[in-house]
Chain A
């Protein structure tokens, strides 16, 4: 073996060891959450409201709250994100306006989640007088989710071959007919994957909902979109830092349910991707 080969062996071994420093903590974290959380999760825990100052009972209102927020987020961010991406890919010319949109998307993706919280509070809670409510929280989370949905949709639209559009246009279809019937259907898998992924992030976010929707303790379910709700991430934050003498099993179990919910959403997005990739037509 010559010196170069020995050096390669050493270098690759170092890279492998460093990679272990990433892999082992990830496995430990997941294992730690499952081992400590799964034992405390039972039927009562996921179907009952908290009792006795959140020291007993379940987290049902928080689960419902998070699901409601995810749905609300999707209702606002999906149409807006998809339409903006359609504009960028199908309609926009390379001009100042287009560059400004692209710059805005880049900027939105980098804004800290707590700054979204501040914005949502002044814009939706105060200025539009929506109060701390599901609708204010959903709108805040929706704006935060926009860059992921726009980027995913853009990439999905760009992979549809240009010939699809050319043929449709040459047959006399209008621009929108072309987009609607010959481009969008083939971009759906990519759009769905990106959307579900952005929703799984929204489900786990705490900072944007702190001042826009999250309720500290609200054992009943929301009656309208102008109600506050409890949410899983905020509930985990409050019981692990704000309320003394909470049994740690409850925190672990809440964390476990939150992670499980996020994993299910991620799994859905992975299944979409795999399923549609198999059926790819070109």
Chain B
């Protein structure tokens, strides 16, 4: 009988844990929404979404998200242009070209990169990459969108490489053998057979990489120059959504418009990453079939 009761208790705990995972997501959304609505009560949502001025401590304040959104978009596009081709090409090399020992070494190196904390890369950006870019490209400051894009591209590589490589490796052997049997070279097989067959997984890899770049906070805050203005070029200082929250939260008064505005920025980030991850996940599931 005691066995029966303990069995019930443990099953209850197991179900509760599953339920808690849902509750956490729901609570995160709810808290962000609640404080965002407090902002929209006093500040029109239209001006928040389409305003071109982020001037939180001016009188009257401006909470237009456009400069921050464009900051994130610029940095993300810059990073994606670099890391998607490089990431997919390295995944192809690791999956189908590299001999076994080299493959193992390369995968370990990518894992090492994945483990380096972002704040360390941000520090390297400040101390080395920023000044280096300023001197070579003759910029007014090295703390700009491009520095952020390069570092974020670097950070997104492990995600893109490991998921793409998984997708390429899990292409059924019979596909490749059929191609070899018809006289195709290894390159023709990789390019014409494996790559299209792994397409879903690679799209998922790219989406998750984009999610990682948009959500990254420390590197964006440390190296992109902290200028909340509509960016004219990726070579100028700008500021992302994430960096705005991290940088300004400490200076706000709890319950002020500014405080609520930062939660509204958080809500925008939540919605963007939710969509990206949802789409990525549906591609991943398609890849597994």
Contacts and interface: CB of A to CB of B under 8 A. Distances in A.
Contacts of A59: none
Interface string B147-191: 000000010010001000000000000000000000001111001
B245 interface: yes
B31 A123 contact: yes
Interface stretch (A45-53, A78-86, A157-165): A78-86
Contacts, number: 243
B46 to A, nearest CB: 23
11 contacts: A4-B185, A15-B92, A22-B109, A29-B124, A111-B215, A115-B266, A146-B24, A175-B7, A176-B10, A206-B119, A233-B218
Interface in A41-78: none
Interface in B229-243: 242
Interface string B189-202: 00100000000000
Nearest to A102: B281
A23 B102 CA distance: 12
Nearest to A203: B117
B42 to A, nearest CB: 19
A207 B218 contact: yes
B133 interface: no
Contacts of B18: 83-84, 87-88, 92, 97, 101
A29 B122 CA distance: 12
A176 B11 contact: yes
B273 A112 contact: yes
A251 B127 CA distance: 10
Given A174-B7, A204-B118, 6 more contacts: A12-B97, A18-B93, A101-B21, A104-B25, A119-B31, A206-B118
- Of the four ranges (under 10, 10 to 19, 20 to 34, 35 or more), the interface on chain B belongs to 35 or more
Q: Which 9 A-B pairs have the closest CB atoms?
A: A204-B117, A112-B215, A110-B277, A83-B17, A8-B187, A87-B18, A18-B89, A15-B93, A207-B217
Contact of B128 (A32, A110, A116): A32
Given A23-B109, A87-B15, A101-B21, A16 B266 contact: no
A21 interface: yes
B119 A237 contact: yes
A113 interface: yes
Nearest to A216: B250
B127 A146 contact: no
B22 interface: yes
Contacts of B24: 104, 108, 143, 146
Contacts of B112: 26, 30, 263, 266
Nearest to B17: A83
B278 A206 contact: no
A14 interface: yes
Contacts of A105: 21
Contacts of A104: 21-22, 24-25
A266 B218 contact: no
Interface in A6-22: 7-8, 11-12, 14-16, 18-19, 21-22
Contact of A206 (B13, B21, B117, B124): B117
Given A14-B89, A123-B27, A240-B127, A114 B217 contact: yes
A146 B21 contact: yes
Interface in B9-48: 10-11, 13-22, 24-25, 27-28, 31-32, 35
A75 B251 CA distance: 32
Given A114-B242, A114-B246, A83 B13 contact: yes
Contacts of B266: 114-115, 118
Interface string B95-113: 0011000000010011111
A108 B211 CA distance: 12
Nearest to B186: A8
Interface string A107-143: 1111111111111011100100000000000000001
Given A12-B187, A237-B122, A122 B35 contact: yes
Nearest to A119: B28
A207 B245 CA distance: 10
Interface in B64-121: 85-87, 89-90, 92-94, 97-98, 106, 109-113, 115-121
Contacts of B217: 112-114, 206-207
Contacts of A21: 86, 90
A106 B25 CA distance: 10
B227 interface: no
Contacts of A123: 27, 31
Contacts of B120: 33, 204, 236, 255, 258-259
A200 interface: yes
A205 interface: yes
A119 B32 contact: yes
Contact of A236 (B86, B119, B187): B119
Interface string B123-136: 11011100000000
B49 interface: no
A33 B115 CA distance: 14
Contact of B97 (A16, A26, A204): A16
Interface in A225-259: 233-234, 236-237, 240-241, 248, 251, 255, 258-259
